[in-house]
Structure 1
């Protein structure tokens, strides 16, 4: 895990409220926490994604200092996309001023993940996970609820899963697509997890090495990285089932035009 030196980086002369959202880049206890807007990604129509509206993260097993940092961002709702067992094992720390909402993405093959024998099995599980975001009713319902709630929100919100990589990564990709960000930028934002959360991945791979043996490191690395091929599996599934990603949003998730318009209005400057 990052050291305490990785606390939110705020300039000493910065106003505590306004500048925290601009300057906060890392949390010591949630290393994949970041603004969905990135640095303010450009949209294809020459606008930009608004910062300080939506945040994404890995699990929020937070220190008191980091919980207070999130509170100072004005976050009012936290959407937890994990399943019940993950929540029970590592419950989110309370964030002052924020309401916790459980929006479980159902259909994740957790039993298969914990019994992997080969790297190919790991790759197959990841393909199943990303197809499930599109093909499984429990996955679609969770993303429908999440996006609908974000569209109707009027204050900063945060969503997360365990690693902040797959369920969270897909939700962020959808939001950036709705905002009008180009596909290459969305891909680079998705892949940024591999750099931003590298310390957490290294820690868990060390645990695999210690408890399961060196031969399992390569096996489990396949499920611990963000890979553009995984994201493409979900895109391909959306194309196959709904004709396009926009078709998936409208028909697969049942998001009305006014909901999509509200999302874009929240997201774009």
Structure 2
């Protein structure tokens, strides 16, 4: 996978920043991130996490392996989480084929898909589009980068604005009815066995995908601290790719201070906490969010646990 030179990036200043995304627009003259990023992170976090090293994506991993509060374990090979799949190499397609996927759920918005391209998948697989809105994250970040103006970029992203936007996005995972429907439909696909093995993804595989992974783990009895650690692992898997994005933006003259993007590139306990605080405000308990907010009845939750936990 070859990165776009920065001097060509002006023509594509549409970055990959939507919720769960970051500006890959200026991957600059630095080489694109490859499977080495994921594999290196896998060695850094041996535990139960099984990465799926790919050349065209850096944050694809099995959701299995985590222990539940009653000492059981989430099954491997049933649910996978990932980042955008539009730039997969031929070898990546072979790796995905080996997972025997039946369903790929894409949380990206139509704007993201139009910009970055549809998923490239093994033969016979067609992505299921379940877009979740970004509350203007894409537009704000694109405007900031395209301006090449340090003052304007600080106005849009500095002074805690980027962090506040991310917290708003996470609260919307709970409050936005359309988004809740997309998350719930994905959980039902898994519970009823029609779509598993299943992979869900967004652009960077960290926010929409991170929340979906978190809620699934909690739904089947994984303790909150363990589910949070899985969510936070995106920082390790994405670190090198995101560093190259910032480096490319600076070298290409797009940003004097690309560190302004770090709050958008990272996952943080504070962001997850914003969603969980909203859960408590609106529903009282996480279980009530699952049953009332997502409409997952007791039978569906039991099926989900039976399918995912051994």
For the criterion TM > 0.5, the same-fold answer is yes
Over the residues paired in the alignment, what is the CA RMSD in angstroms? 2.1
Structural mapping, 1:54-203, within 5 Å: 54-60=79-85, 61-90=87-116, 91-109=118-136, 110-114=138-142, 115=144, 116-154=156-194, 155-203=196-244
Q: Give the one of 251, 255, 260 matched to 2:301.
A: 260
Structural mapping, 1:211-250, within 5 Å: 211-215=253-257, 217-250=258-291
Mapped to 1, the partners of 2:273 and 2:50 lie a distance apart of 32
Mapped to 1, the partners of 2:92 and 2:58 lie a distance apart of 11
Q: Bigger relative contact order, structure 1 or 2, given CA contacts below 8 A and separation 6+?
A: 2
CA contact (8 A) 1:80 1:103 kept: yes
Task: Quote how far apart the aligned CAs of 1:36 are.
Answer: 0.9
Mapped to 2, the partners of 1:92 and 1:82 lie a distance apart of 10
CA contact (8 A) 1:7 1:28 kept: no
Q: Which runs of 5+ in 2 are unaligned?
A: 1-31, 41-48, 145-155
Mapped to 1, the partners of 2:159 and 2:246 lie a distance apart of 14
SS of the residue corresponding to residue 74 of structure 1 reads: coil
Mapped to 2, the partners of 1:227 and 1:161 lie a distance apart of 17
Mapped to 1, the partners of 2:198 and 2:67 lie a distance apart of 21
CA deviation vs aligned residue, 1:76-101 (integer Å, no higher than 9, x gap): 11000000011111221122232310
Shift in CA distance, 137/208, structure 1 to aligned 2, threshold 3 Å: farther
CA contact (8 A) 1:119 1:219 kept: no
Matched, 1:44 2:44: no
CA contact (8 A) 1:113 1:125 kept: no
TM-score, normalised by the number of residues in structure 2:
0.77
Q: Which runs of 5+ in 1 are unaligned?
A: 10-21
Shift in CA distance, 142/7, structure 1 to aligned 2, threshold 3 Å: closer
Shift in CA distance, 212/8, structure 1 to aligned 2, threshold 3 Å: closer
Mapped to 2, the partners of 1:111 and 1:24 lie a distance apart of 31
Mapped to 1, the partners of 2:171 and 2:37 lie a distance apart of 35
Mapped to 1, the partners of 2:35 and 2:181 lie a distance apart of 38
Shift in CA distance, 5/126, structure 1 to aligned 2, threshold 3 Å: closer
Task: Quote how far apart the aligned CAs of 1:6 are.
Answer: 7.2
Name the structure 2 match of 1:18: none
Matched, 1:53 2:53: no
How many corresponding residue pairs?
254
SS of the residue corresponding to residue 206 of structure 2 reads: coil
CA contact (8 A) 1:6 1:27 kept: no
TM-score, normalised by the number of residues in structure 1:
0.88
